[in-house]
A and B are shown apart, each in its own frame.
Chain A
Amino acid sequence: MDILIYPDQRLKQLSESVEDIDKEILSFIEELEQMRLAGPGAVGIAAPQVNMFKRVVIVDVSKMRKPVDNHGHMIMINPEITSWEGMEMGREGCLSIPDFTGNVIRAEKIKLHYTDETGKSHEIESTGFEARAIQHEMDHLDGLLFLDRLVSRRSDLFKRKNFKK
Protein backbone atom coordinates (compact mmCIF):
# COMPACT_ATOMS: atom_id res chain seq x y z
CA MET A 1 0.00 0.00 0.00
CA ASP A 2 1.40 3.39 -1.03
CA ILE A 3 0.16 6.94 -0.67
CA LEU A 4 -0.94 8.36 -4.02
CA ILE A 5 0.87 11.60 -4.70
CA TYR A 6 -0.66 14.39 -6.77
CA PRO A 7 -0.56 14.88 -9.85
CA ASP A 8 -1.81 11.29 -9.79
CA GLN A 9 -5.28 11.83 -11.28
CA ARG A 10 -6.76 8.98 -9.25
CA LEU A 11 -6.89 11.46 -6.36
CA LYS A 12 -9.53 13.39 -8.31
CA GLN A 13 -11.81 10.37 -8.47
CA LEU A 14 -15.15 10.07 -6.67
CA SER A 15 -15.34 7.32 -4.03
CA GLU A 16 -18.23 4.92 -3.60
CA SER A 17 -20.23 4.18 -0.47
CA VAL A 18 -19.32 1.11 1.55
CA GLU A 19 -22.20 -1.38 1.27
CA ASP A 20 -21.02 -4.07 3.71
CA ILE A 21 -18.57 -3.76 6.56
CA ASP A 22 -16.98 -7.12 5.84
CA LYS A 23 -13.62 -8.69 6.67
CA GLU A 24 -12.07 -7.19 3.59
CA ILE A 25 -12.97 -3.62 4.50
CA LEU A 26 -11.95 -4.15 8.14
CA SER A 27 -8.54 -5.40 7.12
CA PHE A 28 -8.24 -2.47 4.71
CA ILE A 29 -9.07 -0.04 7.56
CA GLU A 30 -6.27 -1.55 9.65
CA GLU A 31 -3.80 -0.99 6.85
CA LEU A 32 -5.12 2.52 6.27
CA GLU A 33 -4.50 3.34 9.93
CA GLN A 34 -0.94 2.06 9.63
CA MET A 35 -0.41 4.38 6.67
CA ARG A 36 -1.78 7.32 8.68
CA LEU A 37 0.54 6.53 11.58
CA ALA A 38 3.48 6.32 9.18
CA GLY A 39 2.69 9.76 7.76
CA PRO A 40 4.59 12.57 9.46
CA GLY A 41 2.17 13.95 12.06
CA ALA A 42 -0.92 13.04 10.04
CA VAL A 43 -4.17 13.63 11.93
CA GLY A 44 -6.23 11.97 9.25
CA ILE A 45 -6.24 9.87 6.12
CA ALA A 46 -8.83 8.98 3.50
CA ALA A 47 -9.16 5.71 1.59
CA PRO A 48 -8.62 7.25 -1.87
CA GLN A 49 -5.17 8.42 -0.73
CA VAL A 50 -4.13 4.77 -0.86
CA ASN A 51 -5.92 3.93 -4.09
CA MET A 52 -9.14 2.57 -2.53
CA PHE A 53 -12.16 4.48 -3.74
CA LYS A 54 -14.48 3.74 -0.85
CA ARG A 55 -16.00 6.31 1.50
CA VAL A 56 -13.79 5.65 4.52
CA VAL A 57 -11.74 8.19 6.47
CA ILE A 58 -9.84 8.10 9.74
CA VAL A 59 -9.47 11.22 11.89
CA ASP A 60 -7.73 11.55 15.23
CA VAL A 61 -6.75 14.96 16.59
CA SER A 62 -6.59 13.74 20.20
CA LYS A 63 -2.81 13.69 20.32
CA MET A 64 -2.01 17.25 19.34
CA ARG A 65 0.83 19.00 21.16
CA LYS A 66 -1.63 21.75 22.00
CA PRO A 67 -4.89 19.95 22.88
CA VAL A 68 -8.01 20.72 20.84
CA ASP A 69 -11.67 19.69 21.19
CA ASN A 70 -12.00 16.18 19.83
CA HIS A 71 -13.99 12.97 19.66
CA GLY A 72 -10.92 10.74 19.91
CA HIS A 73 -9.95 8.27 17.24
CA MET A 74 -12.70 8.00 14.65
CA ILE A 75 -13.05 5.50 11.85
CA MET A 76 -15.74 6.99 9.68
CA ILE A 77 -17.53 4.90 7.09
CA ASN A 78 -19.87 6.70 4.70
CA PRO A 79 -19.60 10.01 6.59
CA GLU A 80 -22.01 12.74 5.65
CA ILE A 81 -21.95 16.36 6.79
CA THR A 82 -25.46 17.65 7.46
CA SER A 83 -24.74 21.20 8.55
CA TRP A 84 -21.99 23.77 8.33
CA GLU A 85 -21.57 26.87 10.46
CA GLY A 86 -19.11 29.76 10.49
CA MET A 87 -15.83 29.86 8.66
CA GLU A 88 -12.23 29.99 9.61
CA MET A 89 -8.95 30.07 7.77
CA GLY A 90 -6.25 27.57 8.65
CA ARG A 91 -3.04 26.15 7.27
CA GLU A 92 -3.22 22.72 5.69
CA GLY A 93 -0.87 20.18 4.23
CA CYS A 94 -1.54 16.72 2.83
CA LEU A 95 0.19 13.35 2.69
CA SER A 96 -0.64 13.33 -1.04
CA ILE A 97 0.96 16.75 -1.63
CA PRO A 98 4.38 16.69 0.04
CA ASP A 99 6.32 19.84 0.79
CA PHE A 100 3.55 22.35 0.32
CA THR A 101 1.12 23.96 2.73
CA GLY A 102 -1.54 26.55 2.11
CA ASN A 103 -4.41 28.49 3.62
CA VAL A 104 -7.87 27.02 3.34
CA ILE A 105 -11.22 28.32 4.59
CA ARG A 106 -13.38 25.67 6.27
CA ALA A 107 -16.58 25.64 8.26
CA GLU A 108 -15.85 26.21 11.94
CA LYS A 109 -18.57 23.89 13.17
CA ILE A 110 -20.11 20.90 11.41
CA LYS A 111 -22.69 18.27 12.19
CA LEU A 112 -22.25 14.88 10.60
CA HIS A 113 -23.21 11.27 10.79
CA TYR A 114 -21.17 8.20 10.00
CA THR A 115 -20.96 4.51 10.69
CA ASP A 116 -18.01 3.11 12.61
CA GLU A 117 -16.17 -0.14 11.94
CA THR A 118 -18.55 -2.09 14.21
CA GLY A 119 -21.55 -0.91 12.22
CA LYS A 120 -22.72 1.55 14.88
CA SER A 121 -24.15 4.86 13.67
CA HIS A 122 -22.86 8.11 15.14
CA GLU A 123 -24.15 11.63 14.93
CA ILE A 124 -21.68 14.21 16.16
CA GLU A 125 -20.98 17.91 16.22
CA SER A 126 -17.38 18.83 15.62
CA THR A 127 -15.64 22.18 15.87
CA GLY A 128 -12.33 23.88 15.10
CA PHE A 129 -9.30 21.82 14.19
CA GLU A 130 -11.14 18.49 14.30
CA ALA A 131 -13.90 19.84 12.07
CA ARG A 132 -11.17 21.05 9.68
CA ALA A 133 -9.54 17.61 9.64
CA ILE A 134 -12.87 15.90 8.94
CA GLN A 135 -13.66 18.30 6.09
CA HIS A 136 -10.16 17.86 4.64
CA GLU A 137 -10.43 14.06 4.68
CA MET A 138 -14.01 13.99 3.42
CA ASP A 139 -12.99 16.18 0.49
CA HIS A 140 -10.76 13.31 -0.67
CA LEU A 141 -13.89 11.14 -1.01
CA ASP A 142 -15.21 13.60 -3.57
CA GLY A 143 -11.91 13.90 -5.43
CA LEU A 144 -11.11 17.29 -3.91
CA LEU A 145 -7.71 18.33 -2.59
CA PHE A 146 -6.94 21.33 -0.39
CA LEU A 147 -5.37 22.77 -3.54
CA ASP A 148 -8.93 23.12 -4.87
CA ARG A 149 -9.74 25.43 -1.96
CA LEU A 150 -6.54 27.44 -1.62
CA VAL A 151 -6.73 31.08 -0.70
CA SER A 152 -3.83 33.49 -0.89
CA ARG A 153 -1.30 33.44 1.90
CA ARG A 154 -1.62 37.18 1.85
CA SER A 155 -5.30 36.99 2.78
CA ASP A 156 -5.56 37.09 6.49
CA LEU A 157 -8.51 35.86 8.46
CA PHE A 158 -6.62 34.34 11.37
CA LYS A 159 -8.32 34.62 14.67
CA ARG A 160 -5.84 36.06 17.06
CA LYS A 161 -5.53 36.81 20.67
CA ASN A 162 -4.20 40.16 21.67
CA PHE A 163 -1.95 39.56 24.62
CA LYS A 164 -0.73 43.11 25.05
CA LYS A 165 -2.42 45.70 27.21
Chain B
Amino acid sequence: MKWSVLTLVGADQSGIVAAVTEVLYRQGCSLAQASMMRLGANFAIMLRVSHEDGKDFRKILNSTCDDLSLHLHIDEDVAADVPGIDPDVQVTVYGADRSGIVAQVTSVLALAGLNIVDLETDVGGNKEKPIYIMTLEGVAKKGIEPLQKALETLDSDIEVNLDEITTLRG
Protein backbone atom coordinates (compact mmCIF):
# COMPACT_ATOMS: atom_id res chain seq x y z
CA MET B 1 0.00 0.00 0.00
CA LYS B 2 1.32 3.44 -0.94
CA TRP B 3 0.21 6.88 0.14
CA SER B 4 0.12 10.05 -1.92
CA VAL B 5 -1.03 13.59 -1.32
CA LEU B 6 -2.96 15.19 -4.16
CA THR B 7 -3.63 18.92 -4.40
CA LEU B 8 -6.12 20.19 -6.95
CA VAL B 9 -7.01 23.84 -7.48
CA GLY B 10 -9.24 25.51 -10.03
CA ALA B 11 -11.99 28.06 -10.56
CA ASP B 12 -14.90 27.06 -8.32
CA GLN B 13 -17.85 25.35 -9.94
CA SER B 14 -20.29 22.73 -8.79
CA GLY B 15 -19.33 19.09 -9.20
CA ILE B 16 -15.55 19.32 -8.62
CA VAL B 17 -15.52 17.15 -5.49
CA ALA B 18 -17.85 14.55 -6.98
CA ALA B 19 -15.89 14.32 -10.25
CA VAL B 20 -12.46 13.99 -8.61
CA THR B 21 -13.48 11.53 -5.91
CA GLU B 22 -15.50 9.40 -8.34
CA VAL B 23 -12.45 8.90 -10.57
CA LEU B 24 -10.25 8.01 -7.61
CA TYR B 25 -12.87 5.60 -6.28
CA ARG B 26 -13.18 3.84 -9.64
CA GLN B 27 -9.39 3.46 -9.72
CA GLY B 28 -9.43 1.65 -6.36
CA CYS B 29 -7.98 4.50 -4.31
CA SER B 30 -9.01 5.09 -0.70
CA LEU B 31 -9.33 8.61 0.63
CA ALA B 32 -8.07 9.32 4.13
CA GLN B 33 -7.80 12.89 5.43
CA ALA B 34 -9.08 15.57 3.13
CA SER B 35 -9.37 19.30 3.39
CA MET B 36 -11.32 21.17 0.76
CA MET B 37 -12.46 24.75 0.67
CA ARG B 38 -13.34 27.71 -1.45
CA LEU B 39 -10.52 30.24 -1.59
CA GLY B 40 -11.87 33.40 -3.20
CA ALA B 41 -13.23 32.31 -6.57
CA ASN B 42 -11.14 29.14 -6.53
CA PHE B 43 -11.76 25.76 -5.00
CA ALA B 44 -8.85 23.88 -3.43
CA ILE B 45 -8.69 20.18 -2.62
CA MET B 46 -6.01 18.50 -0.53
CA LEU B 47 -6.31 14.75 -0.23
CA ARG B 48 -4.32 11.94 1.33
CA VAL B 49 -4.92 8.87 -0.79
CA SER B 50 -3.86 5.25 -0.33
CA HIS B 51 -3.52 2.97 -3.33
CA GLU B 52 -1.80 -0.08 -4.72
CA ASP B 53 1.58 0.50 -6.33
CA GLY B 54 1.93 2.08 -9.71
CA LYS B 55 -0.89 4.60 -9.82
CA ASP B 56 -0.26 7.34 -12.36
CA PHE B 57 -2.46 10.08 -10.93
CA ARG B 58 -1.65 12.51 -13.70
CA LYS B 59 -3.01 10.02 -16.24
CA ILE B 60 -5.95 8.96 -14.07
CA LEU B 61 -7.10 12.53 -13.40
CA ASN B 62 -6.08 13.98 -16.77
CA SER B 63 -9.51 14.25 -18.39
CA THR B 64 -11.20 15.39 -15.14
CA CYS B 65 -8.60 18.13 -14.72
CA ASP B 66 -9.03 19.16 -18.36
CA ASP B 67 -12.82 19.23 -18.13
CA LEU B 68 -12.82 21.28 -14.91
CA SER B 69 -9.64 23.31 -15.56
CA LEU B 70 -7.98 22.03 -12.40
CA HIS B 71 -4.27 22.21 -11.63
CA LEU B 72 -2.96 19.01 -10.09
CA HIS B 73 0.03 18.65 -7.80
CA ILE B 74 1.13 15.18 -6.69
CA ASP B 75 3.32 14.20 -3.74
CA GLU B 76 4.13 10.52 -4.22
CA ASP B 77 5.03 8.00 -1.53
CA VAL B 78 4.37 10.13 1.51
CA ALA B 79 4.55 8.56 4.98
CA ALA B 80 2.12 5.73 5.65
CA ASP B 81 -0.90 6.19 7.87
CA VAL B 82 0.27 7.89 11.06
CA PRO B 83 -1.63 8.53 14.29
CA GLY B 84 -3.29 11.94 14.49
CA ILE B 85 -1.86 14.70 16.65
CA ASP B 86 -4.19 16.25 19.21
CA PRO B 87 -3.72 20.01 19.38
CA ASP B 88 -3.66 21.37 22.93
CA VAL B 89 -3.90 25.07 22.22
CA GLN B 90 -6.00 27.35 20.04
CA VAL B 91 -5.14 30.91 19.11
CA THR B 92 -7.48 33.46 17.59
CA VAL B 93 -6.24 36.73 16.18
CA TYR B 94 -8.22 39.59 14.71
CA GLY B 95 -7.79 43.22 13.88
CA ALA B 96 -7.90 45.84 11.14
CA ASP B 97 -6.46 44.19 8.05
CA ARG B 98 -2.83 44.95 7.32
CA SER B 99 0.01 42.95 5.88
CA GLY B 100 2.25 40.85 8.12
CA ILE B 101 -0.25 39.61 10.73
CA VAL B 102 0.20 35.90 9.96
CA ALA B 103 3.98 36.19 9.69
CA GLN B 104 4.33 38.10 12.96
CA VAL B 105 2.02 35.90 15.00
CA THR B 106 3.28 32.56 13.70
CA SER B 107 6.94 33.62 13.99
CA VAL B 108 6.71 34.38 17.70
CA LEU B 109 4.64 31.24 18.29
CA ALA B 110 7.13 29.04 16.42
CA LEU B 111 9.99 30.39 18.51
CA ALA B 112 7.95 29.69 21.66
CA GLY B 113 7.53 26.05 20.67
CA LEU B 114 4.19 25.88 18.85
CA ASN B 115 3.73 23.26 16.17
CA ILE B 116 0.73 24.41 14.09
CA VAL B 117 -1.56 21.61 12.95
CA ASP B 118 -4.41 23.66 11.53
CA LEU B 119 -4.69 27.29 10.49
CA GLU B 120 -7.22 29.34 8.63
CA THR B 121 -7.61 33.01 7.94
CA ASP B 122 -10.21 35.20 6.35
CA VAL B 123 -10.87 38.83 5.55
CA GLY B 124 -14.19 40.27 6.70
CA GLY B 125 -15.72 43.60 7.59
CA ASN B 126 -16.58 46.15 4.96
CA LYS B 127 -14.48 46.90 1.89
CA GLU B 128 -13.32 50.29 3.13
CA LYS B 129 -12.16 48.97 6.49
CA PRO B 130 -11.52 45.24 6.18
CA ILE B 131 -10.66 43.13 9.20
CA TYR B 132 -8.41 40.09 9.29
CA ILE B 133 -9.30 37.00 11.30
CA MET B 134 -7.04 34.03 11.95
CA THR B 135 -7.66 30.90 13.99
CA LEU B 136 -5.06 28.24 14.50
CA GLU B 137 -4.60 25.10 16.54
CA GLY B 138 -1.34 23.54 17.52
CA VAL B 139 0.72 21.55 19.96
CA ALA B 140 2.54 23.61 22.60
CA LYS B 141 5.81 21.72 22.73
CA LYS B 142 7.21 23.90 25.52
CA GLY B 143 3.91 24.41 27.35
CA ILE B 144 1.40 27.25 27.31
CA GLU B 145 3.33 29.87 29.25
CA PRO B 146 6.02 30.61 26.62
CA LEU B 147 3.23 31.04 24.06
CA GLN B 148 1.39 33.52 26.27
CA LYS B 149 4.59 35.50 26.82
CA ALA B 150 5.35 35.44 23.10
CA LEU B 151 1.90 36.76 22.21
CA GLU B 152 2.28 39.62 24.67
CA THR B 153 5.14 40.96 22.54
CA LEU B 154 2.91 41.47 19.51
CA ASP B 155 1.80 44.87 18.22
CA SER B 156 -1.21 46.17 20.11
CA ASP B 157 -3.34 46.79 16.98
CA ILE B 158 -4.42 43.13 16.93
CA GLU B 159 -6.51 41.24 19.44
CA VAL B 160 -5.00 37.89 20.39
CA ASN B 161 -6.74 35.17 22.37
CA LEU B 162 -5.19 31.93 23.47
CA ASP B 163 -7.17 29.02 24.80
CA GLU B 164 -6.07 25.63 26.01
CA ILE B 165 -7.83 22.70 24.41
CA THR B 166 -8.48 19.98 26.96
CA THR B 167 -9.60 16.87 25.16
CA LEU B 168 -12.02 14.73 27.10
CA ARG B 169 -11.43 10.99 26.85
CA GLY B 170 -14.08 8.65 28.01
Within 8 A of A (CB), among B131-152: 135, 148, 151-152
What residues of chain A lie closer than 8 Å to B166, measured between beta carbons?
Answer: 64, 66, 90-91, 129
Q: CB of B159 within 8 A of chain A?
A: yes
Instruction: Add 15 more A-B contacts to A44-B168, A66-B166, A133-B170 (CB < 8 A).
Output: A43-B168, A46-B170, A64-B166, A91-B166, A91-B168, A99-B84, A101-B86, A129-B168, A133-B168, A156-B135, A159-B163, A162-B161, A163-B160, A164-B152, A165-B156
Min distance, Cβ A101 to any Cβ of chain B, angstroms: 5
Given contacts A90-B168, A93-B86, contact A161 B151 (CB under 8 A): no
When the two chains form their complex, are residues B168 and A164 in contact, meaning their CB atoms are under 8 A apart?
A: no
What residues of chain B lie closer than 8 Å to A161, measured between beta carbons?
Answer: 161-163
When the two chains form their complex, are residues B167 and A101 in contact, meaning their CB atoms are under 8 A apart?
A: yes
What residues of chain B lie closer than 8 Å to A94, measured between beta carbons?
Answer: 169-170
What residues of chain A lie closer than 8 Å to B56, measured between beta carbons?
Answer: none
Number of interface residues of A (CB under 8 A): 36
Q: CB of B83 within 8 A of chain A?
A: yes
What residues of chain B lie closer than 8 Å to A99, measured between beta carbons?
Answer: 83-84
Within 8 A of B (CB), among A8-51: 39-46
Within 8 A of B (CB), among A111-162: 129, 132-133, 136-137, 153-154, 156, 158-162
Min distance, Cβ A16 to any Cβ of chain B, angstroms: 21
Give B75-93 as 1s and 0s: 1 = Cβ < 8 Å from A's Cβ atoms.
0000000011010001010
Give Cα A39 to B166, complex, Å: 16
What residues of chain B lie closer than 8 Å to A41, measured between beta carbons?
Answer: 169
Given contacts A133-B168, A154-B120, contact A163 B151 (CB under 8 A): yes
Give Cα A129 to B166, complex, Å: 9
Q: CB of B118 within 8 A of chain A?
A: yes
Min distance, Cβ B93 to any Cβ of chain A, angstroms: 10
Within 8 A of A (CB), among B102-149: 118, 120, 135, 148
When the two chains form their complex, are residues B169 and A39 in contact, meaning their CB atoms are under 8 A apart?
A: yes
Chain B residue at smallest Cβ distance from A92:
B168
Min distance, Cβ A108 to any Cβ of chain B, angstroms: 14
Across the A-B interface, give the 9 residue pairs with the lowest CB-CB distance, nearest first: A44-B170, A160-B161, A160-B163, A91-B167, A92-B168, A93-B169, A136-B170, A42-B169, A158-B163
When the two chains form their complex, are residues A40 and B170 in contact, meaning their CB atoms are under 8 A apart?
A: no
Which of B83, B92, B148, B159 is the one whose CB lies under 8 Å from A156?
B92
Within 8 A of B (CB), among A90-105: 90-95, 99-101
When the two chains form their complex, are residues A164 and B151 in contact, meaning their CB atoms are under 8 A apart?
A: yes
Min distance, Cβ B34 to any Cβ of chain A, angstroms: 13
Chain B residue at smallest Cβ distance from A94:
B170
